């Protein structure tokens, strides 16, 4: 069992390593980079949703805070890019630490709305703090990332950087979820009250998961900023927050690989629809492919509400008691 798993991991690692050598189109390369970035965000959110049993519909704000912190430090303060990548995720982490305790006291719908409201609030700040963030037109002139004398310029290089970061994230998550803390998270997810009853400080653990999820989102944001060298508010809005949450749910709550699968599926689906819908309906303009996006998610929620990697049958999952129960409590 263990060696089989290791073999699979090695195969995956080799495939990932070979991808940039096979793919020549920069379009496909950039899709894989985006999948890697989103998977990092989704892994963090997966810890929060799948293990700590909380929800965030404002994760794009942390992603954006990381990106803007990195961009502002690199362009206005002229800090070396690598230092920015290390420092930038601390801003979203700090914000999460400050808002975390009061916000995570809320449950279910209220938590959804509070995080959603926080996300939109931060998005509005990106758009309207023009002197700092460049306003709706964004920040340009972000330098390329350099590690020592090596300057990362090509998509191939950024692919290795991003997927390397994702690999480290997965490694950390695998260890964390198997550690005693990981089991405690599972306990919170199953029943917060029972966990509290056996003496677990649930509030502080939920906060730690929230801060870690913000850190990972910020890290992905910082990497994104140096990859595209230009940022504007649009990738950090409500739609992205929803997509991050969907990646976690679609992939499967409480699984290590679910968020990665979810990120790949959602990025892939978006790009596929962007290509396929105009082919099928050539006369219509605009990004109306989101119709199918919406319908597909409703269908997944109706038939596989625990996500694609979940083991249970969907009929059981429909009434599962573990995730965010719809009790009146």
Partner 1 sequence: MLGSESQYVQYLFSGLTLGSIYALIALALVVTFNITGIFNLAIGEFVTIGALAAVTLRDVGCPNVLAYILAVIVAGLVGTLMERATINPARKASVLTLIIITIGVSIALRGAALLIWGTHPHTLPAFVHAAPLNFLGAVLIPQSLFVLGLAVVAVGLLFTFFDFTFTGKAVRAAMMNRTAAQLVGINPARLSLFAFTFSGVIAALSGIFITPITTATYDMGFMLGLKGFVAAILGGVTNATGAIIGGVLLGVIEAFAAGTLPSGLKDAIAMIVMIVVLLTRPTGILGER
Q: How far is the CB of 71 from partner 1 (least distance, A)?
A: 20
Q: Are 277 and 288 contacting, i.e. CB atoms less than 8 angstroms apart?
A: yes
Closest CA to 34 of 228, 298, 200: 228
CB within 8 Å of 50: residues ≥ 6 apart? 189, 248, 252, 253, 254, 255, 258
Residue 147 pairs in a beta bridge with 150
Which of residues 174 and 300 has its CB atom nearest to partner 1 in the complex?
300
Which of residues 222 and 246 has its CB atom nearest to partner 1 in the complex?
246
**Burial class for 289, CB neighbours closer than 10 Å (0-12, 13-18, 19+):** buried
C-alpha span between 244 and 235 (Å, rounded): 12
Which of residues 115 and 169 has its CB atom nearest to partner 1 in the complex?
115
Q: How far is the CB of 182 from partner 1 (least distance, A)?
A: 21
Q: How far is the CB of 183 from partner 1 (least distance, A)?
A: 22
Q: How far is the CB of 13 from partner 1 (least distance, A)?
A: 32
Beta strands at 150-151 and 146-147: parallel, antiparallel or unpaired: antiparallel
Tokens read off for 255 = 């699984």
Tokens read off for 70 = 């990195």
Q: Hey, is 286 helix, strand or coil?
A: coil
Q: How far is the CB of 3 from partner 1 (least distance, A)?
A: 37
Q: Are 212 and 7 contacting, i.e. CB atoms less than 8 angstroms apart?
A: no
Handedness of CA 177, 183, 188, 189 (dihedral sign): positive
Which of residues 229 and 232 has its CB atom nearest to partner 1 in the complex?
232
Which of residues 138 and 167 has its CB atom nearest to partner 1 in the complex?
138
Q: How far is the CB of 105 from partner 1 (least distance, A)?
A: 8
Q: How far is the CB of 328 from partner 1 (least distance, A)?
A: 8
Which of residues 31 and 125 has its CB atom nearest to partner 1 in the complex?
125
- Supply φ then ψ for residue 231, to 5 degrees: -130, 145
Which of residues 14 and 302 has its CB atom nearest to partner 1 in the complex?
302
Closest CA to 92 of 71, 61, 121: 61
Binding site for partner 1 (CB under 8 A): 49, 55, 102-103, 106, 108-110, 112-114, 116-118, 120-121, 124-125, 127-128, 238, 242, 245-246, 249, 281, 284-298, 301-302, 305, 318-320, 323-326, 328
């Amino acid at each position: 069992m263990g060696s089989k798993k290791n073999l699979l991991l090695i195969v995956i690692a080799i495939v990932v390593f070979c991808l940039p050598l096979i793919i020549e189109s920069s379009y496909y390369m950039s899709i894989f980079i985006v999948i890697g970035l989103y998977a990092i965000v989704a892994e963090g959110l997966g810890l929060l949703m799948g293990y700590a049993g909380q929800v965030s519909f404002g994760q794009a704000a942390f992603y954006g805070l990381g990106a803007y912190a990195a961009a502002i430090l690199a362009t206005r303060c002229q800090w070396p890019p690598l230092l920015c990548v290390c420092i930038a995720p601390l801003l979203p982490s700090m914000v999460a630490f400050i808002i975390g305790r009061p916000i995570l006291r809320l449950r279910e719908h209220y938590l959804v709305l509070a995080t959603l409201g926080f996300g939109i609030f931060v998005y509005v700040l990106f758009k309207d703090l023009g002197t700092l963030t460049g306003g709706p037109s964004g920040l340009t002139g972000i330098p390329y990332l350099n590690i020592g004398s090596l300057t990362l310029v090509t998509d191939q290089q950024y692919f290795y950087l991003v997927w390397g970061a994702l690999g480290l994230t997965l490694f950390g998550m695998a260890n964390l979820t198997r550690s005693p803390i990981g089991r405690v998270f599972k306990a919170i997810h199953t029943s917060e009250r029972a966990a509290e009853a056996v003496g677990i400080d649930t509030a502080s653990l939920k906060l730690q998961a929230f801060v870690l999820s913000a850190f990972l989102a910020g890290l992905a944001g910082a990497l994104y900023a140096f990859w595209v060298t230009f940022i504007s508010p649009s990738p950090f809005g409500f739609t992205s927050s929803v997509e991050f949450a969907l990646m976690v749910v679609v992939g499967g709550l409480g699984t290590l690989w679910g968020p990665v699968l979810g990120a790949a599926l959602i990025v892939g689906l978006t790009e596929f629809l962007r290509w396929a819908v105009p082919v099928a309906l050539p006369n219509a303009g605009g990004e109306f492919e989101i119709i199918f996006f919406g319908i597909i998610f409703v269908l997944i929620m109706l038939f596989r509400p625990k996500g694609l990697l979940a083991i249970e049958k969907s009929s059981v999952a429909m009434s599962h008691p573990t995730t965010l129960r719809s009790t009146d409590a």
